[in-house]
Amino acid sequence: MRVAYWPGCVSRGFTPELHGSMALVAPLLDIELVQLDRACCTGAGVIAEHNQELADTLNARTFALAQNVDGAELMMNICSTCQGAQSECQERLDASAEYRAHVNETLAAEGLSYEKGLDNKNFLWLLVEEIGLDELRARVKRPLTDLKVGPFYGCYIVRPVDRLGIDAVERPRDTYLAQVIETLGGTVIEYAGSHKCCGFPIITMNKEASLKQAGRHLGDAVDADADCLVTPCPLCHLNLDLQQPLAERTVGRELNMPVLHLPQLVGLALGLEPKELGMQRHVVKPSSVIDWTTSVVAGVGT
Amino acid sequence: MAEAHKPPQDFTLRLRRYDPESGDAPFWEEHTIQLGPHRSVLEGILQAKARFDGSIGIRCSCRAAICGSCGVRINGQPGLACHTHLDKALAASRDGVIEVEPMGNMPVIKDLIVDMDAVHWKKIQRVTPWLINKEPIPEREYIVPRESMIDVTQSMACIQCGACVSDCLSMEVDPLFVGPAALAKAYRFVGDPRDAQQFERLKDLAEDPHGIFDCTHCFKCIEACPKGVAPMSQIMRLRRRATGDHHIVDRNNGERHEAAFVGLVKDHGLLWEAELLPRSYGGNNFFGKFAPPSALELIDSLPVITKALLRRKVTPMGALKPHKLPKDDLKQVKRIYDTVEGRDERIELNLYISGYDEDVEEAPA
Amino acid sequence: MPAHDVLIIGAGLAGQRAALAAADAGASVALLSKVHPVRSHSVAAAGGINAAINPADDWRSHAFDTVKGSDFLGDQDAIEIMCSEAPGEVMHLEHIGVTFHRNESGELDLRAFGGASMNRTAYVADITGQAMLHVLYEQILKYSDRIDRYEEWFVTSLVLDDDGGCVGVVARDIRSGRMETFAAKNVILASGGAGQCYKPTTNALICTGDGIAQAYRVGAPLMDMEMIQYHPTTLAENGFLITEGARGEGAHLLNADGERFMEKYAPNKMELASRDVVSRAEQTEINEGRGVGEGGGGIYLDITVVDRKRVLEALREIVNIGRDFAGTDITREPIEIRPGQHYIMGGVKTDINGATPIPGLYAAGEVACVSVHGGNRLGANSLLDTLIFGRRSGEHAAARATGMAMPSLGDDQLRRDATEIDDIIGRERTGRRVSEIKEELGVEMNRNVAVFRDEAGLRNAHEIVRRLKEEAKSAYIDDRGTVFNQDVLGALELSFMLDCAEATVVAAIERKESRGAQFRTDYPERNDEVWLKHIDIGRNGDDVPEVSYSPVTITQWQPEERKY
């Protein structure tokens, strides 16, 4: 399937391994990624905090660009924060024809216009809803047997449920990570912090509170005996992996908890090599903790 | 509509009991009640109280989600017991039993009753929760724009139930955080044209390290609130007014962070992380990274920076040179910025007030 | 022992207003409430507050509407005071920060309400009571150095001295179970109504008539207890209130034939006739087989005729209620309602300053009967009543306190009350459960003492109430603890409710006419010659209510035929 692909900013900045692994995984799932090179940052909620109309207009532009991609079935992102920030803007744009017309006025000079009702899905949702878990399971080459994975969703993709189309019965999107882990052969680790906040939004405003959150949730995962976490959000990844040494300092305990990007976990199961997936670039080396069974290649990150 | 008349069925409640006089630890207790599926968890608990054990402690009064007494956690989610339907609670339960426990972030007095004075009300008092009149006070009513009173209705809708405080993730790690309920209440005054101290209130809460910039933006309070107050949105409005309208530059890097983020996207179209951090500390310009606060921060983050460089997660070139949008697209972005930011007044669409167009039934898929 | 110039029981609108007025007048104030003040039932009041603030309006018009609404049982001197002081009070509320809705020019907007000859109801969406209560509480916090708050304290009894004056109360700290005697130069009852005597009721679980019964027990007479208001639009399933504001915005009432039947009963005011008229109309339609819903026991309230944007702006709360409690989107389909118990016009008899015949004992708000509502209360007059008489009683009590010596109290009554509580806790499980008795009381009152009454039904109700009173003496509870023992408080509340219920039934039997909310099918006409008077209920020492009468004060308006 062809998707209008919004990779976000951070995947091309501080988490290049995410961008790279997505590029490798997509063809294995028959996803054609048409990257929206012309689109700009979603604002991550910060631009909306500054000026709602600005965030709505910038994202409407992105939506319009996506809608212009020939043959694209939907728009896809690889970041919980992008998903949440865009969904918030889209909710406003879709709710009021008057407002939408007003925003489109600003876009008119570029010949762009957003039409209500864009389908915008995070890779996680796409896996479950478009590709389907059965299909995914069928393509698994290297089942992640005995790998104990803790899901970490990222706030922006699980709250508020109404805006994100989460329904306990029809679309239990806040359980998808667990479902994907199981489909890939792994064991889901339940722990207190799975749906909580990594702390990234306040890393500059209250560093201690920010890292305490990261540290606690990582610690909870350690206590629950997880081998690693997996997250669909690179901003969460920054606070959980990049900042882990400082998080350890803040909560006063060693953590040693590797954090994988979702495409990396999927990539491993689909048969890609850890180095291809950029896993050696993580600040917290996955190799020092993960105990792969014989069905999984050992020696990651060496 | 036929839901209202469905016959009673069995529901099992698992209640968290705690008797402070016994010396025992809290424990779970199950009761099976019979009610129509559309009835509330509170009615279920009251039936258990009436039939089985009158000592079950829960605050309740109006039964109609207006007094705010019955704040609890149901299946791990905060909310009002009277406002949660039994069938929905059953659907959301993990094992077919509806779990009810007291709210979080506040000490438990007995069973489902928490000490709100110790946390919730203390924080409300922190924001000077009364109108400080603009003088002179007119003889008749203040004449104020119609929209302004409608605007603060959202904040005024708060019934002080504590559900937002219960699950605030910032408060969980930082108990001194002023919190969603108190900050939503603060907006009620900042947004009220009759208040004389809007700047002072904003400055106070922006400069407080546990104030408006301590909110971790996790949406928990928006989800918890049974009245649509959306406390986090009120906090964002406070930030917007503090930085945008009153140009308050706080010591917590809140304004600088916002300015840096917004500015970097304008200049490059994409976020330049390497610049974002130093500018948040040192100021939103080229020299920001050289300012002392920024330098200190960089030094503090050395363990992280060195590891990131070693692993080649971040390369020096990658950090020093941002990736940009193509030239024409960047021009478009800049033009959008100029157009929107150049308006006389900010446009803020608040769906709480305006509602949704007729044919929008659900959120976008 | 805490000692104050003015002690106020109940922290709803009347209680908080009294506290602020007394503190303003320099008195030391204690404010006791069995729930946190913002949980008081005033918070549920929705539609608005009446005041003739429009320059084209006249408070005398408001007063006449009120007199007519009361079916001429209201005391006109009190009504004049309430209506003339209303504009000033509403302005005061606006000044302290109530976020009233505005019209296009930024002035207070006024909406239509039942029984009003012109639009004079100021409002905050449909959460007027909540907005006012929270703003008053903001002021209470502001003046916390002048007002001592005792939140979650349950008053068990009033204390009188040997001269028969009220000198304090005995109360229980619900959190710790500790009992305390409070000395006070003046006590103001602001403890609200007694809706829990009925099932269903719009009233909260805390509305158990505590103050009415406590005043009655120390010899203060109750007045107009038979006047129980059934609100026309309560949710059919659970009795929740749908504000009159909906009809004020233009909503229609429809029967099973889809007709706006109010045409037959009140051709002028239609849906905005006074509440007793509308409730009776609905009940008649239901009784005559034109009701809607399962069993034909309801009526449709059609809000779809109101502009959707306006509904979201001004009737947000009932959108929520419809969605959350009835599974109905009121902007798209009619909602099923029926008359339900809502308010008690009667209460502790007071004068225009809130003073009862017992020196030092005042009452204000729904607990009191001045009477400004007479046989039927107009919508949006209750919020006004609480504030005007809350303020007046606070001021009057503060003035009375100056120059008075602080009473000194012993411990006897505390020990009596503590023993009573211990006895209840220690009861054997031989009788009935408290909750069972309460349930039966509610169902029976709603069956026999509702919109349409007759001798047989009332006598039946009286027998039942007396039997339940007996049974209550041996009713048992489960909770034997001291911390937050809600169970034992429930037993005390039950006994208060039974006293209120009995007074209501006795008064209803006594009044052999139909007036205002009392409609007797055996005496369907209003009879001014014999019955233009208040029925007072007193206690003659033992547990038997005694009936007497008091005159209705008439100043300007002679009784006339009441048509809407």
Do B142 and B194 meet the contact criterion of CB atoms below 8 Å apart?
A: yes
Please list the residues that pair with B100 across neighbouring strands.
B15, B74
Cross-chain Cβ contact B57/C490 below 8 Å: no
Please tell me whether residues C34 and C78 are part of one structural domain. Answer: yes
How many domains are there within chain C? Answer: 3
Residues from chain A contacting residue B240 (CB–CB below 8 Å): 49-51
The angle formed by the CA atoms of residues A37, A42 and A46, to the nearest 5 degrees, is: 150
Q: How many residues would you count in chain C? A: 564
Please tell me whether residues C177 and C233 are part of one structural domain. Answer: no
Give the pLDDT of residue B201.
98
Q: Give the integer Cα–Cα distance in Å for C231 and C450.
A: 11
Q: Give the integer Cα–Cα distance in Å for C232 and C274.
A: 10
- Contacts of C502 by beta carbon, 8 Å cutoff, 6+ apart: C462, C465, C466, C469, C545
Q: Which residue of B has its CA nearest to A284?
A: B307
Residue C534 resides in a domain: no
Residue C290 resides in a domain: yes
Write out the DSSP string of B292-348: HHHHHHHHHTHHHHHHHHHTTSS-HHHHHS-----HHHHHHHHHHHHHHHTSSS---
Q: Which residue of A has its CA nearest to B350?
A: A92
Over 90: is that where the pLDDT of A222 sits?
yes
Give the pLDDT of residue B4.
53
Nearest to A90 by CA among A50, A37, A124, A52: A52
Please list the residues that pair with A93 across neighbouring strands.
none
Nearest to C214 by CA among C151, C184, C149, C170: C170
Please tell me whether residues C221 and C100 are part of one structural domain. Answer: yes
Q: How many residues would you count in chain B? A: 365
Do C348 and C257 meet the contact criterion of CB atoms below 8 Å apart?
A: no
How many helices and strands in chain B, by DSSP H and E?
Answer: 17, 7
Q: What confidence tens digit (pLDDT) does each residue in C239-258 have?
A: 888 988 899 899 999 999 99
CB of B213 within 8 Å of a chain A CB? The answer is yes
**Candidates C99, C110, C201, partner chain B, best to mutate (most B CBs within 10 A):** C99
Please tell me whether residues C55 and C157 are part of one structural domain. Answer: yes
Q: Give the integer Cα–Cα distance in Å for B324 and B334.
A: 13
CATH classification of the domain holding C472:
1.20.58.100
Closest to C124 (Cβ–Cβ): which among B64, B125, B156?
Answer: B156
Token couple for B107: 């000490």
Give the domain-ending residue among C352, C381, C401: C401
Give the pLDDT of residue B293.
86
DSSP state, residue C490: H
Do B178 and B210 meet the contact criterion of CB atoms below 8 Å apart?
A: yes
What is the nearest CA distance from B84 to chain A, expressed in angstroms? 15
b/e string for A133-166 if b means 16 or more Cβ within 10 A?
Answer: beebeeebebbbeebbbbbbbbbbbbbbbebbbb
Over 60: is that where the pLDDT of A161 sits?
yes
Residue C187 resides in a domain: yes
Residue C277 resides in a domain: yes
Residue C366 resides in a domain: yes
The more confidently predicted of residues B26 and A274 is B26
Other beta carbons within 10 angstroms of residue C443's beta carbon come to: 14
Q: Which domains does chain B have, with CATH numbers?
A: 9-114 (3.10.20.30), 117-220 (1.10.1060.10), 254-324 (no CATH)
CB of B17 within 8 Å of a chain C CB? The answer is no
Give the domain-ending residue among C355, C371, C401: C401
- What average pLDDT does chain C have? 95
Do B182 and B195 meet the contact criterion of CB atoms below 8 Å apart?
A: no
Closest to B236 (Cβ–Cβ): which among A39, A49, A84?
Answer: A49
Residue B2 burial by Cβ neighbours in a 10 Å radius (0-12, 13-18, 19+): exposed
Closest to A54 (Cβ–Cβ): which among B174, B253, B340?
Answer: B340
Please tell me whether residues C195 and C99 are part of one structural domain. Answer: yes
Residue ranges of chain B whose pLDDT lies below 50: 1-3, 359-365
Touch test C–A: 3 Cβ pairs or more under 8 Å: no
Token couple for A255: 């953590």
What is the nearest CA distance from C413 to chain B, expressed in angstroms? 26
Pairing of strands C347-349, C361-363: unpaired
- Percentage of residues in chain A with pLDDT exceeding 90? 86
Q: Give the integer Cα–Cα distance in Å for A179 and C450.
A: 57
Cross-chain Cβ contact A121/B365 below 8 Å: yes
Give the pLDDT of residue B358.
66
DSSP state, residue C221: P
Q: Give the integer Cα–Cα distance in Å for A69 and C462.
A: 79
Give the domain-ending residue among C314, C339, C364: C339
Cross-chain Cβ contact C141/B129 below 8 Å: yes
Q: Give the integer Cα–Cα distance in Å for B43 and B323.
A: 58
Residue C550 resides in a domain: no
Contact residues, B window 149-188, toward C, CB-based 8 Å cutoff: 149-150, 152-153, 156-160, 188
Asked if the bond preceding A16 is cis, omega within 30° of 0, the reply is no
Q: What confidence tens digit (pLDDT) does each residue in C290-319 have?
A: 999 888 889 999 999 999 888 888 888 888
Tell me chain C's radius of gyration from C-alpha atoms. Answer: 22
Please tell me whether residues C385 and C314 are part of one structural domain. Answer: no
Give the pLDDT of residue A298.
40
- What average pLDDT does chain A have? 92
The kind and range of the H/E element at B32 are: strand B27-35
Chains touching C, CB cut-off 8 Å, 3+ pairs: B
Token couple for A68: 């212009």
Please tell me whether residues C259 and C121 are part of one structural domain. Answer: no
Please give the average per-residue pLDDT across C153-170, as a whole number. 97
Residues from chain B contacting residue A110 (CB–CB below 8 Å): 332
Please give the average per-residue pLDDT across A101-117, as a whole number. 95
Residue C384 resides in a domain: yes
**Candidates B62, B114, B134, B225, partner chain C, best to mutate (most C CBs within 10 A):** B62
Q: Range with the lowest mean pLDDT among B96-110, C360-374, C528-542?
A: C528-542
Q: Using CA of residue C140, residue C141, residue C144, residue C150, what is the dihedral sign? A: positive
Give the pLDDT of residue C564.
86
Longest distance between any two alpha carbons in chain B, whole Å: 73
Write out the DSSP string of C307-343: -HHHHHHH-HHHHHHHHHHH---TTTS-EEEEEEEEE
Residue C92 burial by Cβ neighbours in a 10 Å radius (0-12, 13-18, 19+): middle
The kind and range of the H/E element at C131 are: helix C128-142
Token couple for B6: 């469905």
Please tell me whether residues C218 and C244 are part of one structural domain. Answer: no
Helices (H), chain B: 41-51, 86-92, 122-126, 146-156, 163-166, 169-173, 180-190, 198-207, 220-224, 231-240, 254-268, 273-282, 292-300, 302-310, 316-320, 327-341, 351-354
Please tell me whether residues C83 and C176 are part of one structural domain. Answer: yes
Token couple for B152: 């603060």
DSSP state, residue C295: G
Give the pLDDT of residue B193.
96
Q: How many residues would you count in chain A? A: 302
Residue C362 resides in a domain: yes
Domain region containing C459:
412-527
Cross-chain Cβ contact C317/B66 below 8 Å: yes
CATH classification of the domain holding C295:
3.90.700.10
Please tell me whether residues C53 and C122 are part of one structural domain. Answer: yes
Other beta carbons within 10 angstroms of residue B354's beta carbon come to: 17
Nearest to C78 by CA among C364, C277, C276: C364
Do C112 and C272 meet the contact criterion of CB atoms below 8 Å apart?
A: yes
Give the pLDDT of residue B155.
95
CATH classification of the domain holding C86:
3.50.50.60
Please give the average per-residue pLDDT across C143-161, as a whole number. 97
Please tell me whether residues C433 and C453 are part of one structural domain. Answer: yes
How many helices and strands in chain A, by DSSP H and E?
Answer: 12, 8
What is the nearest CA distance from A185 to chain B, expressed in angstroms? 23
Please tell me whether residues C354 and C320 are part of one structural domain. Answer: no
Residue B94 burial by Cβ neighbours in a 10 Å radius (0-12, 13-18, 19+): exposed
Closest to A95 (Cβ–Cβ): which among B222, B270, B360?
Answer: B360
